[in-house]
């Protein structure tokens, strides 16, 4: 009898067929996220779970899944998984670090350019047939990145990759990291100084209890009038209500790939604002990156289902306790 695994997101048929040669696969193929009740029911008797950011895995679900050996997520971040519960139950959690750095860094720079040069706003302006005159001296004026100070909040691999790209623009780079880190051409500052002095603030730190709402109402208020906030990390890094107020007043601009609630609900205030560029969480959305992420996630799943250590494990401490002694 094949061991059971749950695939909690829609994947191409060839991937499901490949998994089905080894496992009894309970695959979700809905266009929306799998509900918590469906996930809980599907995990009955399952040894493996393959998921993504759209599928929260709560402590209750983990505790109820008594046969579960491994959780493998197609993501770097694991904040959608109750990590203390997984570790307590001896369940390794696999993730996919190291393969989306360049894709996400590219997108962060793209958002900086789109926001500061008002590209989405200009595109909409043309499509709405508002372009009725020739060249105008004051039309859709933006900000030169080459003359800007860009603040990087988080100097890990993605923050460093963004810094490398921005050097070519000639802008001034300042940054903050939770632990001291020296990056070439990035002047270290306190967190408040980064928000206060930068024309563009870009968020690249992991989501933890310490960094939740790191872009707080107070720090957003420190930003210069006309400055831009970029977020390609996690939605909860930003106090969204405070950002809505700042954008609504016209004082700030923003480029956002991630949000507190995903997908954005209908009638969300962001949807009516022209001074924010909105993307549907596509930081890693290139063919090569998504393929590499999926490959790592499948390797993690197969290892865990075979009682082998995961190559990319987010809670390696499980290997120092049962059942991995």
In DSSP terms, which residues pair with 49 in a beta bridge?
A: 6, 71
Residues 156, 180: contact at Cβ < 8 Å? no
Does residue 224 carry a catalytic annotation?
Answer: no
∠ Cα 102 211 169 (to 5°): 35
Give the torsion through C-alpha atoms of 201, 205, 207, 208, to 10 deg. -120
Catalytic, out of 80, 204, 281, 296: 281
Does residue 234 carry a catalytic annotation?
Answer: yes
Interstrand relation of 4-7 and 24-27 (parallel, antiparallel or unpaired): parallel
Catalytic, out of 80, 234, 253, 296: 234
Does residue 281 carry a catalytic annotation?
Answer: yes
Catalytic, out of 17, 261, 262, 317: 262
Distances (CA, A) of 194 to 25, 209, 285, 318: 48, 20, 29, 37
Burial class of residue 190 (count of CB atoms within 10 Å of its CB; 0-12, 13-18, 19+):
exposed
Residues 229, 223: contact at Cβ < 8 Å? yes
Residues 87, 146: contact at Cβ < 8 Å? no
Q: Which residues participate in catalysis according to the annotation?
A: 234, 262, 281
């Amino acid at each position: 009898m094949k061991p059971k695994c749950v695939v909690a997101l829609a994947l191409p048929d060839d991937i499901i067929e490949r998994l089905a040669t080894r496992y009894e696969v309970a695959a979700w193929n809905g266009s929306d996220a799998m509900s918590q009740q469906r996930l809980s029911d599907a995990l009955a008797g399952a040894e493996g779970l393959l998921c993504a950011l759209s599928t929260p895995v709560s402590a209750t679900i983990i505790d109820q899944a008594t046969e579960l050996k491994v959780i493998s997520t197609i993501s770097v971040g694991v904040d959608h998984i109750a990590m203390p519960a997984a570790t307590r139950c001896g369940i390794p959690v696999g993730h996919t670090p190291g393969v989306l750095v360049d894709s996400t860094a590219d997108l962060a720079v793209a958002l900086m350019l789109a926001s500061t040069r008002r590209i989405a706003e200009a595109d909409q302006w043309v499509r709405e047939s508002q372009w009725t005159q020739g060249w105008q001296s004051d039309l859709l004026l933006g900000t030169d990145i080459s003359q800007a100070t860009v603040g990087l909040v988080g100097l890990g691999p993605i923050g460093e990759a963004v810094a490398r790209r921005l050097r070519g623009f000639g802008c001034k780079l300042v940054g903050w990291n939770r632990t001291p880190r020296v990056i070439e051409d990035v002047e270290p500052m306190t967190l408040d100084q980064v928000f206060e002095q930068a024309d563009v603030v870009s968020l690249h730190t992991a989501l933890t209890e310490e960094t939740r709402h790191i872009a707080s109402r107070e720090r957003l208020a420190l930003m210069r009038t006309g400055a831009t906030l970029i977020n390609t990390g996690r939605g909860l890094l930003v106090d969204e209500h405070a950002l809505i107020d700042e954008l609504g007043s016209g004082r700030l601009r923003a480029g956002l790939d991630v949000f507190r609630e995903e997908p954005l609900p209908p009638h969300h205030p962001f949807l009516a604002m022209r001074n924010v560029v909105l993307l549907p969480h596509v930081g890693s959305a290139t063919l090569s990156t998504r393929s590499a992420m999926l490959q790592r996630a499948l390797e993690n799943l197969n290892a865990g289902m075979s009682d082998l250590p995961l190559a990319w494990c987010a809670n390696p401490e499980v290997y120092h306790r049962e059942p991995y002694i």
